[in-house]
Amino acid sequence: MHDERRRIEERVQRLHDQRIKTAIYAATVPLEVEAWQAPGEPVPFAEAAGASYAPFAMGTPWGPPWGTTWFRMRGQVPSEWAGRRVEAVIDLGFVGDWPGNQAEALVHLTDGRPLKAVNPLNQYVPIANPAVGGEEIDYLVEAASNPDILANDFAAPTPLGDVLTAGDKPLYTFQRADIAILDEDVWHLDLDIQVLRELMLELGEHDPRRHEIMHALDRAMDLLDLDDISGSAASVRELLQPALAKPAHASAHIVSGVGHAHIDSAWLWPIRETKRKTSRTFSNVTSLADEYEEFVFACSQAQQYEWVRDNYPHVWARIQESVKKGQWAPVGGMWVEADGNLPGGEALARQLIHGKRFFIEHFGIETKGVWLPDSFGYTAAYPQLARLAGNEWFLTQKISWNQTNRFPHHTFWWEGIDGTRIFTHFPPVDTYNARFSGEEMARAVRNYQEKGGATRSLAPFGWGDGGGGPTREIMERARRLKDLEGSARVEVEHPDAFFAKAREEYPDAPVWVGELYLELHRATYTSQARTKQGNRRSEHRLREAELWATTAALHAPGYAYPYAKLDRLWKTVLLHQFHDILPGSSIAWVHREAEAEYARVAQELEELTAEAVAALGAGGTRVFNTSPFDRAEVIRTAAGAPAYAEVPANGSAPVAVADPPQPVTVSGRVLDNGLVRVEVAEDGTVASVRDLRAGGREVLADKGNLLRLHTDLPNYWDAWDVDKHYRNRYTDLLDADSVTVVEEDPLLGAIRVERSFGKGSKITQTITLRAGSPRIDFETDIDWHEAEKFLKAGFPVDIRAPYSSAEIQFGHIQRPTHTNTSWEAARFEVSGHRWVHIAEPGYGVAVINDSTYGHDVSRTVRDDGGTTTTVRLSLVRAPRVPDPGADQGRHRFTYSLLPGATIDDAVAEGYALNLPLRVAEAAGAPEPVVSVDGEGVTVEAVKLADDESGDVVVRLYESRGGRAEGVLRTGFPLAGAQVTDLLERPLEDAELVDGGVPVALRPFQIVTLRLRRG
């Protein structure tokens, strides 16, 4: 037989694209359209319904960036169309090939009920089936003219990322608003041909099935009447049925299809637009559920449900009904799909607590898994936290984006830092916006790395980010692929069902231990530093407010614990931990609003804390310690003078309750407090740090606190990525404008270094040493005006450290300092929380920070044979896409060097730097709510139980990485205690001994105790 593949394939493609697709709508009549441009921000339906509309013609430009245009569309179904499937078809002037992130609309009936959305690949609105002759159509359509930020492929900065800079030039040209007959035979033929053609092109050139499909399609094109596509469609479909009816091989891979619409809670649009995106997509989804009884849609992010509940009650009611039918599956169990690295430990716990509670309260459903497809790496604390919240499985996809190393598994057990394991899956289809194309199905089978051990994978399908979610075309593809020779089999089902089957067939799946590090998007640890600082400080202010509110509730008659306010503030912070807000990868509008929200949160939490402390009574000046460790340190009083205090963990004490230790001396540029001696060089770097407790050991191998300015232009994704070549071009900031002693007191000494550099940028650093502490603080004030630059602060330490330890949620992880393998070399930029620690046997050093997450650790061997291990903190970047002004302006933060530090020291000083002692007027000295006898048992949270029972809830963890035993004691009469899950539900009774609760923890174990007051 002659090889005619090229002729047939090209013929099929042309007839499909140019004749069949264009015949899907058999007849059309235009709708009458009027328009009203809403001024400013979006308006409620009632206001739009009462507005004055003007005639609007097709082909007219509309929609300034971030604007809202309401269209009134009216018409009548022709009486002769009775019995046909009739739809409204609306093309707002969609651009490019991006199915979301541009113009979108929500169609309402005149009584305000949302009907369905209109999106680039989902342009229809059902009218009737069968249509009633003469039916009147009257719609109010809310259309959003959101700019397509991705239009230039992120190649250059754009002013469109903020309503303040975007201008008012119309973005779109309205193309179509018709009433149309959907020719169902042609529509189904279109899908038949798509599925067969795509399958054919993925099969091998010598596969008989490929040739069978090719010749069937060729014969079908012979049967197609080009002058009467509609009239011949049914017979063409009949000819193709044998090719579509052949069953899949018995060993065919099984793809569990789960409807999905990944909607970023903010990204290339502000939060206010996400509220509307969810209403549009969820309207589409509930409409699709009515058409396809087998349809199942998985949806995470309780915050998005709450927005719909509060703003779109009709859509909310439809969601509730779909959940009851089993077609809508709440998943994920988190408040939002948070960043996987940066939220603090308690914040990550609250993500799970608030998310799971929402689904239990509103749907009676306890979600079973963590659904987090699109975060930028995943902390090794996740397995334990997920299981403590009652989850059984974990899903993500993003690790497939690794630049260097291919992750070796798709289905596996993921083991966290404490030994907890959770069953985990990465969809080999390699997307969370699948559409069941032939290429996607072949890719899923080709990629799947569990062949021979397991047979099934999961595929989330549907258009995200404003694309409207799953479509009827995708559902039709799934039906055709349910059992089709040459393809994987598709089963549309609940993700819980997939995970149950996957675990049953593959119980001995391989184990991956430790973090899931994404070898990409490493700059998300640093970009938009003010957003990250707002998060860090909010987390610690929430801890402070909860502790002192609990103290006041226990000891101050008449004080009411602020349950509702704390709940609301927590949810605000959790929202901004979304994986495109906290990482710094959103447009300018998002980060401008985030900074304003963090300022508001800070003010409210300051007021709550002040109210709680004031409730304890007035009568003297006291110091309040929110840290879980006893503290003896220099503070500043309300008047600004230095003072010294010893304060118990979680408690308070008067100022100057102890004699100050050896005083600080200042001699030239040398600070000395009897513990360490610090010499500042003429160029403002740290020339020497001597640890006097270790016999005068020199800590540094070279200039300390070396500020290095790197050129920073990644290959792509400016705000997300820092590529390895950034290291190759840099300038060391060694020209100091001034080096001045600014404080010389027995309790503290300080030297200020001022520098100017670059495009008008300035850095002022105050290097401070306090009596009684070896910690050296670098209080930093930067006025930053650079572009495409990356600023690091380096500490080259004379230590041969085989690995670094970085704090993560409820513990720490160790990473090698060598680069023996490509896996280690790929970790050239990593994340951590409050501290990084390096050590050799007998001696260690910690670098501590109050708002920095990114860092790198490397080591070199010197000419003298010694080893230098260098820790560098990533301070600030200057990406220009998607926010051209990212990080510009003022930054204020502190980082510290802690010589002679153990892991215990790093943990304690990390808390201390992030939880400054509070000086306030208060009378009594109530005992701390809780205290712990024993080393390594660290109190992470103290609060009243969320059920408002008055019980006290305490979250503890083992912080050193070893076993720990201790006794938890309370500052109130204790009647009983229970160990609970994260949601404060009892797991077992806890023993009481001598009025305390004995605690025994394995390495990094988290325990939540619920304490009943006597």
pLDDT on residue 262:
96
CA 315 to chain centre: 25
Do the beta carbons of residue 32 and residue 14 sit within 8 Å? Answer: no
pLDDT on residue 98:
80
- Lowest-pLDDT range of 131-135, 411-415, 507-511: 131-135
* Residue 448: both structure tokens together: 């799947």
pLDDT on residue 130:
59
pLDDT on residue 636:
86
Confidence of residue 659 (pLDDT cuts 50, 70, 90): confident
Q: What is the pLDDT of residues 294-351, one digit of tens each?
A: 999 999 999 999 999 999 999 999 999 999 999 999 999 999 999 999 999 999 999 9
- Lowest-pLDDT range of 616-630, 678-692, 881-895: 616-630
Segments in 425-471 forming alpha helices (H): 438-447
Look up the pTM and report it. 0.98
Output phi, psi for 320, to 5 deg.
-55, -40
Q: What is the pLDDT of residues 664-713, one digit of tens each?
A: 999 999 999 999 999 999 999 999 999 999 999 999 999 999 999 999 99
Active-site option among 138, 290, 374, 683: 374
Angle, vertex CA 57, rays to CA 46 and CA 274, nearest 5: 45
pLDDT on residue 132:
64
Segments in 372-521 forming alpha helices (H): 382-388, 438-447, 472-480, 495-505
Task: Please state the rounded mean pLDDT for residues 877-887.
Answer: 97
Q: What is the pLDDT of residues 363-378, one digit of tens each?
A: 999 999 999 999 999 9
CA-to-CA distance for 640 and 703, rounded, in angstroms?
A: 32
Segments in 394-528 forming alpha helices (H): 438-447, 472-480, 495-505
Do the beta carbons of residue 98 and residue 181 sit within 8 Å? Answer: no
Among 430, 428, 443, 434, residue whose Cα is nearest residue 464 = 434
pLDDT on residue 818:
97
Longest dimension (CA), the chain: 102
CA-to-CA distance for 655 and 647, rounded, in angstroms?
A: 9
For residue 61, say if its preceding peptide bond is cis, omega within 30 degrees of 0. Answer: no
DSSP 341: S
Q: Is the pLDDT of residue 2 over 80?
A: no
In sequence order, the β-bridge partners of residue 580 are none
CA 651 to chain centre: 34
Do the beta carbons of residue 814 and residue 873 sit within 8 Å? Answer: no
pLDDT on residue 83:
87
CA-to-CA distance for 406 and 609, rounded, in angstroms?
A: 48
Q: Is the pLDDT of residue 469 over 90?
A: yes
Q: What is the pLDDT of residues 793-837, one digit of tens each?
A: 999 999 999 999 999 999 999 999 999 999 999 999 999 999 999
Q: Is the pLDDT of residue 129 over 70?
A: no
CB neighbourhood size of 366 (10 A): 15
CA-to-CA distance for 244 and 874, rounded, in angstroms?
A: 57
pLDDT on residue 910:
98
Confidence of residue 641 (pLDDT cuts 50, 70, 90): confident
* Residue 977: both structure tokens together: 């205690």
pLDDT on residue 151:
80
Confidence of residue 657 (pLDDT cuts 50, 70, 90): low
User: How much helix, strand and coil, in percent to the nearest 5, is found in the chain?
Assistant: 30, 30, 40
Q: Which 3-state string (H, E, C) describes 528-583?
A: CHHHHHHHHHHHHHHHHHHHHHHHHHHHCCCCCCCHHHHHHHHHHHHHCCECCCCC
pLDDT on residue 878:
97
DSSP string, 278-308: HHHHHHHHHHHHHH-TT--EEE--HHHHHHH
Q: What is the pLDDT of residues 9-55, one digit of tens each?
A: 999 999 999 999 999 999 999 999 999 999 999 999 999 999 999 99
Q: Is 374 a catalytic residue?
A: yes
CA-to-CA distance for 597 and 603, rounded, in angstroms?
A: 10
Output phi, psi for 233, to 5 deg.
-60, -45
DSSP string, 964-983: EEEEEEESS-EEEEEEE-TT
pLDDT on residue 870:
98
DSSP 1002: -
CA-to-CA distance for 611 and 609, rounded, in angstroms?
A: 5
Task: Please state the rounded mean pLDDT for residues 759-771.
Answer: 98
Q: What is the pLDDT of residues 388-409, one digit of tens each?
A: 999 999 999 999 999 999 999 9
* Residue 537: both structure tokens together: 């400080």
CA-to-CA distance for 877 and 793, rounded, in angstroms?
A: 12
Do the beta carbons of residue 437 and residue 511 sit within 8 Å? Answer: no
Q: 741 Cβ partners below 8 Å, 6+ apart? A: 666, 669, 749, 750, 751, 752
* Residue 571: both structure tokens together: 């949810």
Confidence of residue 654 (pLDDT cuts 50, 70, 90): confident
Among 385, 367, 289, residue whose Cα is nearest residue 331 = 367
Cα-Cα-Cα-Cα torsion 652, 654, 655, 661, nearest 10 degrees, comes to -80
Q: 522 Cβ partners below 8 Å, 6+ apart? A: 721, 722, 828, 829, 830, 854
* Residue 241: both structure tokens together: 């049925």
CA-to-CA distance for 473 and 463, rounded, in angstroms?
A: 12
Output phi, psi for 3, to 5 deg.
-85, 105
CB neighbourhood size of 896 (10 A): 22
Output phi, psi for 871, to 5 deg.
-105, 125
Q: What is the pLDDT of residues 861-876, one digit of tens each?
A: 999 999 999 999 999 9
pLDDT on residue 148:
92
From residue 905, alpha-carbon distances to 133, 838, 900 in Å are 80, 12, 9
Map residue 385 onto helix, strand or coil. helix
pLDDT on residue 131:
57
CA-to-CA distance for 242 and 264, rounded, in angstroms?
A: 42
Q: What is the pLDDT of residues 580-609, one digit of tens each?
A: 999 999 999 999 999 999 999 999 999 999
Map residue 869 onto helix, strand or coil. strand
Map residue 39 onto helix, strand or coil. coil
**DSSP strand pairing (328-330 vs 830-831):** unpaired
CA 623 to chain centre: 36
Do the beta carbons of residue 258 and residue 460 sit within 8 Å? Answer: yes
> In which residue are the tokens 């109010």 written?
140
Among 116, 853, 839, residue whose Cα is nearest residue 523 = 853
Counting beta carbons within 10 angstroms of the beta carbon of residue 958, is it exposed (0 to 12), middle (13 to 18) or buried (19 or more)?
Answer: buried
Map residue 416 onto helix, strand or coil. coil
Output phi, psi for 822, to 5 deg.
-65, -25
pLDDT on residue 637:
81
Confidence of residue 658 (pLDDT cuts 50, 70, 90): low
Q: What is the pLDDT of residues 65-116, one digit of tens each?
A: 999 999 999 999 999 998 899 999 999 999 987 888 899 999 999 999 999 9
> In which residue are the tokens 């996400």 written?
274
The chain-wide mean pLDDT, for the chain, equals 96
Q: 112: left (phi > 0), else alpha (psi -120 to 50), else beta? A: left
CA-to-CA distance for 287 and 261, rounded, in angstroms?
A: 14
Q: What percent of the chain has pLDDT over 90?
A: 94
> In which residue are the tokens 């990868």 written?
585
